[in-house]
Amino acid sequence: MENDKETVNVSTNETDIRSKLRIYRFSVLAVALLAGVLRTAALFTSYDKGIGYFNHNNILPATVTALLIIGSLWALSAAFLIRPEELPSAPKFNTNGVFFSSIYAGFIMLADFGYKIFQFFQLRKSGEINWILEKFRRLQEYTSAVDRSDRIIAVISVIGTAAALLSAIFFFVRASAKTAAKGHVILGMFVIIRALCGIALIYFDMDIPMNNPNKIILQIALMSAMLYFLTEERFLIGGGSEKPRAFMALALVSVILTASAGISCVIAFFAGVVSVGTFCVEGLICIIFFLYIYAHFSAYEKALAAPEGADAKELTEENALPDGEEKKKEETEENEVQAEDDETSESEIVKGNDGKTGNTD
């Protein structure tokens, strides 16, 4: 009976935590999609692509900014409202959502790799690649900020191209993997490197104003995704290095930022509102991060019915008997115990009588 009560308490506790996580998941998703829609509307109604800024007369940009700040603070509060011991430290991300989001992310990363290779051949065909290489050969002559920026972008592009290919492999491997391996951890680092290269490409592009709103939100979104993947790497490493609360909070924040940045920039680019190709590419990367991270957070929520807890619950339910049968079983056990006590008493009486007979003789 005590075991049944403990099982009920554990099950109730898990249900409460799942309810909290479900509230966070749906509320954050709603904020992310709302911010994405409002930011897209702001780009269409008040963004001047000639100067790269929003018009001050429109209230939408400020509304979106406020929504993102409030939503991010709400997401971070999950780390303080849920105790670490209430969270699973070794979840298994084996849901359909994780599978499809990983496959999709892998294909987009492959497309990113192919696009960068195409850009290289275009530069080679136009002869611009020779001009960039000349800047590396003659460092003392090409010393302006633009020249330094071109050299940095060239190096980052090469690293980002390789990282995109290895990131695609990571996503494909994780889509079908049942357990983590050391190779997964190494490949996962290239996803972080790819995000870092995206941040650097946006930052060092001298043609884009430093405080361009699209530049800022894409950089922040990619940074949040980088931090998320660092916490996911800890789960892959295991051995007590997991940080469940950091994973949960960063996943929620990343969902908001990557969705709002990616959706708005991609739609605005294809509509001709935004003309910078880098914004579109990094916006697509943000969208795959959004889908991937949201799917993993959903799987994390389901992991509260983790193998250990789930198996215990299933065994309890399987072994549980209806009320009538349980009462009969208890009565039977009591009768058996009583019968054993009676037999013991009878044997003691018999032994006692035997002892008295022996003394008389």
Cα separation, 333 vs 335, in Å, equals 5
Task: Give the mean model confidence (pLDDT) for residues 2-15.
Answer: 51
pLDDT tens-place string over residues 300-352: 887 765 444 444 343 344 344 455 555 555 566 666 656 555 555 555 554 55
Q: How far is residue 288's CA from residue 180's CA, in Å, rounded to a whole number?
A: 21
pLDDT band at 145 (very low <50, low <70, confident <90, very high): confident
Confidence of residue 292 (pLDDT cuts 50, 70, 90): very high
Q: Residue 220 CB: number of other CB atoms within 10 A?
A: 18
Is the separation of the CB atoms in 85 and 262 below 8 Å?
no
Beta-carbon contacts of residue 360 (< 8 Å; ≥ 6 apart): none
> Looking at per-residue confidence, does 154 or 342 come out higher?
154
CA–CA distance, 294 with 253 (Å, rounded to integer): 10
**Backbone phi, psi, residue 115, to 5°:** -65, -40
- The per-residue pLDDT for range 9-40, each reduced to its tens digit, is 445 556 777 788 889 999 999 999 999 999 99
8 Å CB contact between 39 and 257: no
* Cβ–Cβ under 8 Å, residues 184 and 235: no
- Give pLDDT tens digits for 215-251: 999 999 999 999 999 999 888 887 777 788 888 899 9
Residue 55: predicted pLDDT: 86
Q: Does 291 score more than 90 pLDDT?
A: yes
Report how far residue 112's alpha carbon sits from residue 302's, in angstroms, rounded to the nearest whole number.
32
Is 49's pLDDT higher than 50?
A: yes
User: What's the CA gap between 283 and 160, in Å, rounded?
Assistant: 15
89-144 pLDDT tens trace: 666 777 888 899 999 999 999 999 999 999 888 877 777 776 677 766 666 666 67
Enumerate residues 6+ apart whose C-beta is below 8 A from 313. Answer: 7, 11, 305
335, amino acid identity: N
Residue listed under structure tokens 């800024």:
53
Q: pTM, whole model, 2 decimals?
A: 0.78
Indicate if the pLDDT at residue 151 is higher than 90: no
Which pLDDT score is estimated for 11?
52
Residue 11: CB atoms within 10 A of its CB come to 16
Closest CA to 31 of 360, 259, 298: 259
Mean pLDDT of the chain: 80
Q: Which residues contact 115 (CB under 8 A, 6 or more apart)?
A: 281
pLDDT at site 360: 46
* Domain locations along the chain: 2-306
